[in-house]
Amino acid sequence: MGKVYEATVTAPVNIAVIKYWGKRDSALILPTNSSLSVTLSQDHLSTRTTIRASPDFTIDRLWLNGVEEDINASKRLVNSITTARKLREALEEKQKQDGIPAESVVPLSQWKIHVCSENNFPTAAGLASSASGYAALVSALGTLYELPQTTSELSRVARVGSGSACRSMFGGFVAWQAGIADDGHDSLAVQVADRQHWPELQALILVASDKKKAVSSTAGMQTTVETSSLFAERVRTVVPQRMEAMKEAIAKRDFETFAEITMRDSNQFHAVCLDTYPPISYMNDTSRAVAGLVHAFNSARGRTAAAYTYDAGPNAVIYALKSDMRDLVELFTYCFPREDSILPDAFYPDPFSIFDS
Ligand code: PMV
């Protein structure tokens, strides 16, 4: 057996507070608008990926959660791997040009790889794993190939796998700048603030349904771009203003502003989905009840003490400061009692946890 090179990386899930919805280029995954998210702790929802490269491997192979899958079945997966290989090839060329003897340049770009990827959360929980999955894949390739690119530059490679994955390349608060270039070189993720900037902020995930969504985000976005007039207004005026206001709220650790923008943006995203023709409805009765409860909680506190946000599905993510989270968890547990919580350590989130509603 020849040499085996190996890298292992863990990447967490991120939850957008300004939503990405709509592509201006679906091959390169270029968005119609910028977005901003919070990357969750990797202790809870994350993907751990190990990649091995060897001259002895005859084909690329992929295992997801212990089961072998066809690595060529996903065009996006192939795109991400091919893009990373090209970066490695360029690095090998440069090493040779810099005078490193050809026999000392490891031709990793030519070797086949084995990818082994595992989520540390139940796949059945209905929580998106593509963001952490592609971020882990690209970070692991970056480490394996010793790529000189910055994390922002590498986020472009994660982006061609799954748009929102580019934001999971960083921890903390992350913006995905939409960019304007046709080749996508300026469509990448940048860190707005690291996790330590606001340690009191916590997220709680409420699983309202673990079923696979009826309309995939790819199909949904395309129909929205083609049919919704509300969407055009969102992209033109609303999101640019919110991106600035959100960055300012994060910089100032202004929870009330952060929370209000988060809820308004989630609401507008779902309104745009309803304005799509035929309409798309991702939230269900439980999701709406949770949103109502958050507003009732805020009224009772006399301030915006909690925020909800929903992606392309019915599960809620609740943001609150640590000082309010315990009461919120008690409230949700009381209103949506379930014995079979998905994770046993469900109740006191630090920085967040999951339970079934
Ligand atoms: O990256 P995708 O194709 O999974 O799209 C994600 C879209 C939303 O989750 C609804 C919003 C977002 O910004 O993450």
Give one DSSP letter per residue of 120-185, joined into a string: SS-GGG----HHHHHHHHHHHHHHHTT----HHHHHHHHHTT-GGGGGGGSSEEEEEE----TT-T
* 268 and 341 belong to one structural domain: yes
* 239 and 328 belong to one structural domain: yes
CA of residue 218 to ligand 1 center, whole Å: 9
Cis peptide before 278 (omega within 30 of 0): yes
pLDDT tens-digit profile, the chain (357 residues): 678 999 999 999 999 999 999 999 999 999 999 999 999 988 878 999 999 999 999 999 999 999 999 999 999 999 999 999 999 999 999 999 999 998 999 999 999 999 999 998 766 555 667 899 999 999 999 999 999 999 999 999 999 999 999 999 999 999 999 999 999 999 999 999 999 999 999 999 888 877 777 789 999 999 999 999 999 999 999 999 999 999 999 999 999 999 999 999 999 999 999 999 999 999 999 899 999 999 999 999 999 999 999 999 998 999 999 999 989 988 998 888 765 443 333 333 333 333 322
Question: Which two tokens mark 259?
Answer: 């929370």
* Ligand 1 pocket residue status of 311, Cβ below 6 Å: yes
Q: Range of 189's domain?
A: 5-194
- Please report, for the domain that includes residue 141, its CATH number: 3.30.230.10
* 243 and 293 belong to one structural domain: yes
Taking the CA of residue 37 as reference, the ligand 1 atom at the shortest distance is: 13
* 206 and 318 belong to one structural domain: yes
* 219 and 260 belong to one structural domain: yes
| Positive/negative CA dihedral, 144, 146, 147, 151 | positive
* 22 and 149 belong to one structural domain: yes
Domain closes at, from 194, 209, 224? 194
Instruction: Write down the residue that tokens 């968890």 correspond to.
Output: 329
- Helix, strand, coil % over all residues of the chain, rounded to 5: 45, 20, 35
The candidate with the shortest Cα–Cα distance to 75, out of 162, 135, 12, is 162
- Which of the listed residues 25, 217, 242, 266 should we mutate to test ligand 1's pocket, taking the one with most ligand atoms within 8 A of CB? 217
* Ligand 1 pocket residue status of 265, Cβ below 6 Å: no
Domain closes at, from 170, 194, 218? 194
* 185 and 206 belong to one structural domain: no
The order of strands in the sheet holding 46-54 is: 5-12, 46-54, 112-119, 61-64, 67-69
